[in-house]
Homo-oligomer: A and B are copies of this chain.
Amino acid sequence: MKKLILITNDDGITAPGIKALVTEMQLLGEVIVVAPDSPQSGQGHAITINDPIRIKKVDIFNGVEAYECTGTPADCVKLAKNVILKDRTIDLCVSGINHGSNASINIIYSGTMSAAMEASIEGINSIGFSLLDFSFRADFSGASHYARKIAHEVLRNGLNGCKLLNVNIPAVPLREIKGIKICRQAEGTWVEEFKEGIDPRGQKYYWLTGAFVTNDPLTDHDLYALSHNYVSIVPSGHDLTKHEALPGLIHFEKI
């Protein structure tokens, strides 16, 4: 029987990245697309609880069953599983291909990864794909090739007890990609700046900008792999406990 693959993203259903992913996943199984009707970058793991959500069937992928949704990427996955595909087993959820990196700490802010994580929490093997190029005219050849290879492997052999992969692809042509590295998430942070401005009504505003910096000195992380033209795969989860800190804080039980 054909495998059922759910596709979503956070750049919106009309972004080139999701189109590339639909093309590749059609080679591997039956595809259903449920994606936001507008860009949702920086949404983190937002869900919509105080407003209704609407879905609309659209035909923009040459006959592939597809729905645009007014909610966040995590909402899309919840709706797909509980409403659109209610009685069916989803074999794989893929999210992306994101326009821009979700390596290192960017997983925290990423709608693409939140959608994949939501599916993984529901017990579905999931992969988020991101290309290190923000342009809507980016070259998706390398990303497409590796998305298909990795999804194929997950569909065939599973994830060995893991449920979620954060996959990032360097912004170079396919022939320059050296292969795949299994990595941990690099330490890094955004050095923030806010541009101040005055709006047309004379009110002051602030607009977030910033530069990403890393000072992770080791070589077993995703940023190192990407900077050497490897595709990075970080097996990921949703347990935020800092387990190694537990013994050192036990004195709080006595305060």
Which A residues fall within an 8 A CB radius of B?
A: 39, 41-55, 74-75, 78-79, 81-83, 105, 107-109, 114, 117, 121-122, 149-150, 152-153, 159-162, 164-166, 179-182, 184-185, 189, 192-194, 197, 199, 203-208, 233-243, 245-246, 248-250, 252-253, 255
Residues from chain B with a CB closer than 8 A to the CB of A55 are 206
Residue pair B107, A240 in contact (C-beta under 8 Å): yes
Residue pair B114, A253 in contact (C-beta under 8 Å): no
Residues from chain B with a CB closer than 8 A to the CB of A250 are 182
Residue in B122, B189, B208, B235 whose beta carbon sits within 8 Å of that of A242 in the complex: B235
Residue pair B81, A192 in contact (C-beta under 8 Å): yes
Residue pair B52, A197 in contact (C-beta under 8 Å): yes
Residue in B48, B54, B108, B121 whose beta carbon sits within 8 Å of that of A189 in the complex: B121
CB pairs A–B below 8 angstroms (10 shown): A41-B50, A44-B46, A46-B109, A82-B194, A83-B194, A160-B249, A161-B248, A181-B253, A182-B246, A235-B249
- Knowing A194-B83, A245-B235, A249-B160, the reply to whether A42 touches B53 (Cβ < 8 A) is no
Residue pair A238, B108 in contact (C-beta under 8 Å): yes
Complex Cα distance A182/B14, Å? 46
Residue in B47, B152, B180, B246 whose beta carbon sits within 8 Å of that of A109 in the complex: B47
- Knowing A153-B255, A161-B245, A184-B241, the reply to whether A194 touches B235 (Cβ < 8 A) is no
Residue pair A162, B238 in contact (C-beta under 8 Å): no
Complex Cα distance A189/B42, Å? 23
Residues from chain B with a CB closer than 8 A to the CB of A47 are 42, 44, 109, 208
Complex Cα distance A53/B206, Å? 5
Residues from chain B with a CB closer than 8 A to the CB of A192 are 78, 81-82
A193, chain B: closest CB distance, angstroms: 7
Residue in B43, B81, B185 whose beta carbon sits within 8 Å of that of A240 in the complex: B185
Residues from chain B with a CB closer than 8 A to the CB of A179 are 253
Residue pair B54, A206 in contact (C-beta under 8 Å): yes
19 additional A-B residue pairs with CB within 8 Å, beyond A45-B109, A159-B249: A42-B47, A42-B50, A44-B44, A44-B46, A79-B206, A83-B194, A108-B121, A150-B252, A153-B252, A162-B242, A162-B248, A179-B253, A180-B252, A180-B255, A182-B252, A184-B246, A235-B249, A236-B240, A237-B242
